[in-house]
Structure 1
Amino acid sequence: MGKAVIKAADSAGLNIVPLSFGSAVENGKTVQVCGKDILIHGPDDRENVLASVFDEHPNLVVVDYTVPSAVNDNAELYCKVGVPFVMGTTGGDRDRLYKTVEDSKVYAVISPQMGKQVVAFLAAMEIMAEQFPGAFSGYSLQVMESHQTSKVDTSGTAKAVISCFQKLGVSFDVDQIQMIRDPQRQLEMVGVPEEHLSGHAFHMYHLTSPDQTVSFEFQHNVCGRSIYAEGTVDAVIFLAKKVQSKADKLIYNMIDVLREGNMR
């Protein structure tokens, strides 16, 4: 995701600060993306490094695509330094995440789903759930989501969609989600193209009426990461404007970005 965001940001004409954080074994390494050498810093001195970069680039916006176990520590770092950030990483303690940002008065876009079109679908689901509660009462639900093996947590998008179905009257627990992470099953059962096994998001939601005579199916399949990278760049531009205008609201999501319009 980091490489995809760099490419999208470069295409949008944003100034990319050639710096990233990684593990201790990656400290001092460089990764070349879009002709730029991105220097990776380990965890030991990252507060000083980030503070120094923020002093040099006061309009800096950090983009976070890491792992669930890093979400809260990373957010606390950004808030301690005072740098605005876009959090595309799912998982972690979300209540703690929001409280950290609120207490620090730092601007942030936090969203488990950065793909604009998928977010629009989620918004439509939320509107339906709000306006027609109980419309699917009694219906059974099957949910399958397939992601690359490196995604260790359950899809935040799937959780959000399930929440809408619950408001629509469907009884379903998140632990009933069928998570597919095995590449062979993804090829044979899900139909993921082989070239996208390392980066994809296939979701299927199947509803069936109590008497089995009516069924609905919602599906969204994403190959690659460009959809998330493009949405992330829009979120960065959106957040930079909020910081510049000293907006009263501090925490935003991708629906806020969509509503603002003027996206690439």
Structure 2
Amino acid sequence: MATNVVVLGAKGRMGTTLVNLALADTELNLVGVCEREGNAGGLNYDGCLTADCLDDLLPKVPGAVIVDFTAPESSVAMAKIAAKYGNPAVIGTTGFDPDQLAELEILAKEIPLFWAPNMSVGVNVLLKVLPELVKALGEDYDMEMVETHHKMKKDSPSGTALKLAQCLAEARGWEYDDVKKHCRDGIIGERPHKEIGVQTLRGGDVVGDHTMYFFGPGERIEVTHRAHSRETFASGALRAAKWLSEQQPGSLYAMADIF
């Protein structure tokens, strides 16, 4: 049976991609689209409800899975409304602070709730194999990362970069907050051994590039993931929506749970 979905932020770049992919997928029914108050004009899809208030829309689409790539405050507010009506939700928003993530974890006990800072299959496979690389190379290899995104991206470093860097730190047995270096400037002295640098580039319309460097004695290894299209993330989110529709509340699900 097809999964009913609602796309939040349907006029945005990611929202538009989600809508188009959902309409083309025979395993999905796009039953609702939602925009900010006063901004829903022009949204018109056959058999699909349009709203600028999630509180008005959700009672009409019970059980539909919400897909949300908006902003941290909006996503937390969405999850609270979803919990009120019992709708599952997939969140691809980045930039949450610890308190906001804690709220999502509480709400995940009431409704099936899924969050991933990157929905691509490739990145999530990297998260599984990188610890093996780190352990095989050993302590003699310094680990650094450069991430590049379009000039409209608001958070830095990207959620994907943070997730990857945390993965590297965990493989070394380090606490990421103790070893992260998100900026270097001036006379900084020698690089400490126990450090992971994550540097940010912003410009143009780059969808998302992440390169991890492993600098060792006489050599270096570079591992790069490049997203060529937002469809990469949208497809992953819609795959998550299908999966989430069959899950129960309990914990904040992630891509690793699907794999």
Report TM bin, short chain. Answer: 0.7 to 0.9
1:29 aligns with 2:50: no
Residue 55 of structure 2: aligned partner: 48
Report if the CA contact (8 A) 1:136-1:168 is conserved.
no
Specify the alignment match of 2:243 in structure 1. Answer: 238
Q: How has the CA–CA distance of structure 1 residues 147 and 32 changed in structure 2, closer, same or farther, with 3 Å as cutoff?
A: farther
- From 77, 81, 84, the counterpart of 1:77: 81
Kindly indicate whether residue 186 of structure 2 is the aligned counterpart of residue 216 of structure 1. no
Contiguous gaps of at least 5 residues in structure 2? 1-13, 184-197
Does structure 1 retain, via aligned residues, the 8 Å contact 2:211–2:223?
A: yes
Q: How far did 1:73 drift?
A: 2.5
How many residues align? The count is 225
Aligned counterpart for 1:158 among listed residues 140, 153, 161: 161
Following superposition, the deviation at residue 138 of structure 1 comes to: 4.0
SS of corresponding position for 1:18: strand
TM-score by length of 2: 0.75
Pair 126,236 (structure 1): closer, same or farther in 2 beyond 3 Å: farther
Q: Match for 1:146: what amino acid?
A: T
Q: 1:144 aligns with which of 133, 143, 146?
A: 146
* Percent sequence identity over aligned pairs: 23
- Do residues 200 (structure 1) and 207 (structure 2) align? yes
CA–CA separation in structure 1 for the residues paired with 2:181 and 2:81 = 30
Match of 1:39 in 2: 50
Asked if 2 retains the 8 angstrom alpha-carbon contact of 1:84 and 1:106, the reply is yes
Q: CA deviation at 1:146?
A: 0.9
SS of match in other structure, 1:158: helix
Q: Which has the higher strand share?
A: 2
1:182 matched residue in structure 2: 203
Query: What secondary structure does 2:43 align onto?
Result: strand
Partner residue, 2:25: 12
Counterpart-to-counterpart distance in 2, 1:233 and 1:21: 19
Code of the aligned partner of 1:166: A
Q: Is the 8 A contact 1:105 1:250 kept in 2?
A: no
Q: How far apart, CA to CA, are the structure 2 residues paired with 1:167 and 1:15?
A: 40
Could you say if the C-alpha distance between residues 138 and 113 of structure 1 is closer, same or farther in structure 2, counting changes exceeding 3 Å? same
Deviation at 1:232, TM superposition (A): 1.0
Q: Could you say if the C-alpha distance between residues 221 and 250 of structure 1 is closer, same or farther in structure 2, counting changes exceeding 3 Å?
A: same
Alpha-carbon contact 1:30-1:38 (below 8 Å) kept: no
Distance 2:249 2:73 in 1: 30
Deviation at 1:127, TM superposition (A): 5.4
Amino acid corresponding to residue 22 of structure 2 in structure 1 = A
Partner of 1:86: 90
For the residues of structure 1 that align with 2:159 and 2:124, how far apart are their CA atoms? 12
Letter in 1 for 2:126: F
Alpha carbons of 1:114 and 1:236: their partners in 2 closer, same or farther (altered >3 Å)?
same
Unaligned runs of 5+ in 1: 184-196, 260-264
d(CA) in 1 for partners of 2:127, 2:69: 21
Deviations for 1:111-146, whole angstroms, at most 9, x for unmatched residues?
1111112211112224556xx38x442432332111
Q: Quote how far apart the aligned CAs of 1:47 are.
A: 5.0
1:66 equivalent to 2:67? Answer no
Secondary structure of 1:161's match?
helix
Partners of 2:31 and 2:47 within 8 A in 1 = no
- Work out the CA distance in 1 between the residues paired with 2:126 and 2:81: 32
